Amino acid sequence: MARITLDHIRHAYGSAPKSPKDYALREVHHEWNDGGAYALLGPSGCGKTTLLNIISGLLQPSEGRILFDGKDVTYLSTQARNIAQVFQFPVIYDTMTVYDNLAFPLRNRAVPEAEVDRRVREMLEIIDLSGWAKRKAQGLTADQKQKISLGRGLVRNDVNAILFDEPLTVIDPHMKWVLRSQLKRLHKQFGFTMVYVTHDQTEALTFADKVVVMYDGQIVQIGTPAELFERPTHTFVGYFIGSPGMNVMPARIEGSTVVVGGETIALDYSPQINAGDRAELGIRPEFIRIGREGMPVAVNRIEDIGRRRIVRADFQGQRIAIVASEDAEIPAEPRITFDPAAINIYANSWRVGREA
Ligand code: ADP
Ligand code: MG
C-alpha cells in the first residue's frame, strides 16, 4: 500500500494549452494517506477519470509529478506502479471461465496454485458467483461481468492501490448496495489505499473516509462527510452535497453582520472580505428555523418526505429551501431565523473562514 502524492499536476488533452479552460485538470496538489478510502466525487466532465488515469499510469500528466511513498512514478507503467484498476464497464476475458478470469492476475504474478485457489474461491463468494465458476464469461449478463471485473481488481493483496472508476454503474440497485458494503469491509480488512470515482453523493458519502470533491478540473474540497456538510469550502460543494443542497444568496458584509436584500443578520464573527469581492451567504436548509419569529418569508410549496418536510419559499427575492420536522407548525405569516453557527460566508465562491 502506498501514500500517494500529487505534486502540482495539470493536464490538457490538446496541445499548447493557453487558458485554464484548456486544462481538463487545472492544478491538483495533494497528498493522500496510505490505506485511506477516498471517493472522487463530482459531476460528469469535471476531470475524475483524467485524475484516476494519471494515478494509475494510463495517462501521463502534462505537468507535475506523481509519487508513491515519496518515489517518483510519473513515467512508470500501471504494471510497474502495481495498481489494480476497475473500470466503469467490464474488462474481462470472454473465452476464459469465471474462475480463470479471477485467477489470471494471481497466476500472472506466479502465486502458488493452492493460494490462487483459496483466494479465487473467497472472491467468488464475495461477488456472489460461486455457482458460476466453471462457466465461460461469454454469455454472462453485464452485471455479472462487472462483478468479475471487480473481483479481478480485488483478488490481489499486494497492490499499492486499487482504483475504481464508477464501477457500479451497470449493477442493479440492490446488488450495488451489497457490493459497496463488501468493498468497505474488504478495505477495513486489508487496509489498501482505495480511490473510488463516482458522481453519486450517496455512494461517496457511504463509502469513503475522505471525499474529494471535484469541480471544473479542480479539487475544491477534501473532507469527511461531516466537514463537507457543515463547512463547504466552495459554494459548489454546498449545492452538490445535501438534498436539497445549501441555500446560497447574494449578500453584503458589514462588519459582523451580513445583509441579504433588506434584512441584516448578525454573525458570530467578522468575515474579512476584499472590496469588489462577490459576497454570498450560504446556509443549509436544515439550519433554517421556520415559525413566528425572525424574518418574513413567502411559502410556495411544502413537500412531505417521510419524517421531514421541505418548505420551498421566497426570501428577499431568493428561492430558498427549509427543512422542517413533520410536526413543526407553519403559521399563516411565517418567519425564519438562521442558526448563526451554521452560516457560511463566501467571497467569489470560496468560503471565508472564521479562523482568519
Ligand atoms: P469525468 O470522469 O469527471 O466525467 P473526464 O476526466 O473524463 O471527466 O473528462 C474531463 C474533461 O476532459 C472533459 O471536458 C472531457 O471532455 C475531456 N476529455 C476526457 N478525455 C479526453 C480525451 N481523450 N481527449 C480529449 N478530451 C478529453
Ligand atoms: Mg469519468
Is 243 a domain residue? no
Q: Higher confidence at residue 184 or residue 29?
A: 29
Strand partners, 210: 38
> What gap in Å lies between CA 290 and CA 288, rounded to an integer?
7
Domain count, the chain: 2
Cα of 87 from ligand 1 centre, angstroms: 15
pLDDT tens digits along 6-63: 999 999 999 888 998 999 999 999 999 888 899 999 999 999 999 999 999 999 999 9
User: For residue range 142-178, what is the model confidence (pLDDT) as tens digits?
Assistant: 889 999 999 999 998 888 899 999 998 888 888 888 8
Considering the domain architecture, whether residues 229 and 279 belong to the same structural domain is answered as no
- Which of 133, 199, 208 lies closest to 166 in space, CA to CA? 199
Q: Are 86 and 150 in contact (CB under 8 A)?
A: yes
Same-domain check for residues 178 and 118: yes
Name the residue with higher pLDDT: 355 or 21.
21
Model pLDDT, residue 1: 67
Average pLDDT over residues 84-110: 94
Domain annotation covers residue 88: yes
pLDDT confidence of residue 290: 96
List the Cα angle 315/319/323 in 5-degree steps.
85
215 φ, ψ to 5°?
Answer: -155, 125
- From 10, 11, 13, the mutation candidate for ligand 1 (largest count of ligand atoms within 8 A of CB) is 13
Q: Looking at the structure, tell me whether residues 41 and 77 fall in a common domain.
A: yes
Best CA proximity match to 163, nearest among 7, 45, 25, 59: 59
Torsion over CA: 344, 348, 349, 352 (sign): negative
What pLDDT is recorded for position 125?
92
Choosing from 235, 270, 300, the residue where a domain stops is 235
Is residue 8 domain-shared with residue 156, that is, in the same domain? yes
Query: For residue 189, what pLDDT is reported?
Result: 82
Looking at ligand 1, which atom is closest to the CA of residue 47? 6
Q: How far apart are CA 43 and CA 57, in angstroms?
A: 23
Beta bridge partners of 223: 211
Find all residues with CB under 8 Å of 235, minimum gap 6, and list them. 246, 248, 280, 282, 346, 349
Q: Which residue has the cell 473516509?
A: 209
64 and 201 inside one domain: yes
186/274 same-domain check: no
Residue 207 confidence class, pLDDT cut points 50, 70, 90: confident
- Is the pLDDT at 356 greater than 80? The verdict is no
**Ligand 1 atom 27: the closest Cα is on which residue?**
13
| 242, part of any domain | no
C-alpha to C-alpha distance for 120 and 118, rounded to whole angstroms: 6
Which pLDDT does position 73 carry in this prediction? 96
**Ligand 1 mutation target, pool 9, 50, 166, 198, most atoms within 8 A of CB:** 50
Residue at 241 is within a domain:
no
CATH code of the domain in which 264 resides: 2.40.50.140
Name the β-bridge partners of 248.
Answer: 282
Whether residues 217 and 252 share a domain: the answer is no
The torsion angles phi and psi of 71, rounded to 5 degrees, stand at -95, 130
Lowest mean pLDDT among 97-101, 124-128, 292-296: 124-128
d(CA 73, CA 3): 12
Residue 116's alpha-carbon distances to 85, 86, 302, in angstroms, are: 19, 20, 58
In angstroms, what is the C-alpha Rg of the chain? 24
Q: Is residue 240 situated within a structural domain? A: no
Residues 41 and 215: their CA atoms lie apart, in Å, by: 9
Q: Which residues surround ligand 2, an ion (CB under 5 A)?
A: 49
Let me know whether 112 and 207 are in one domain.
Answer: yes
Using 50, 70 and 90 to split pLDDT, how confident is the model at 124? very high
| Closest listed ligand to the CA of 24 | 1
188 and 273: one domain? Answer: no
Pocket-testing residue among 49, 196, 218, ligand 1, by greatest number of atoms within 8 A of Cβ: 49
CB neighbourhood size of 78 (10 A): 16
Note whether 198 and 282 are same-domain residues.
Answer: no
CATH assignment of the domain containing 20: 3.40.50.300
In the chain, the percentage of residues whose pLDDT exceeds 90 is 77
The predicted pLDDT at position 312 comes to 97
* Average pLDDT of the residues in 267-295: 95
C-beta separation of 254 from 270 below 8 A = no
Reported confidence tier of residue 133, pLDDT bands at 50, 70, 90: very high
Which of 235, 263, 293 finishes a domain? 235
**Of the candidate ranges 83-87, 104-108, 187-191, 339-343, the one whose mean pLDDT is the lowest:** 187-191
Find the DSSP H helices in 191-270.
201-207, 225-230, 235-240
Distance of alpha carbon 239 from alpha carbon 248, whole angstroms: 8
281/307 Cα distance (integer angstroms)? 27
Range of the domain at 348: 248-352
Average pLDDT, the chain: 93
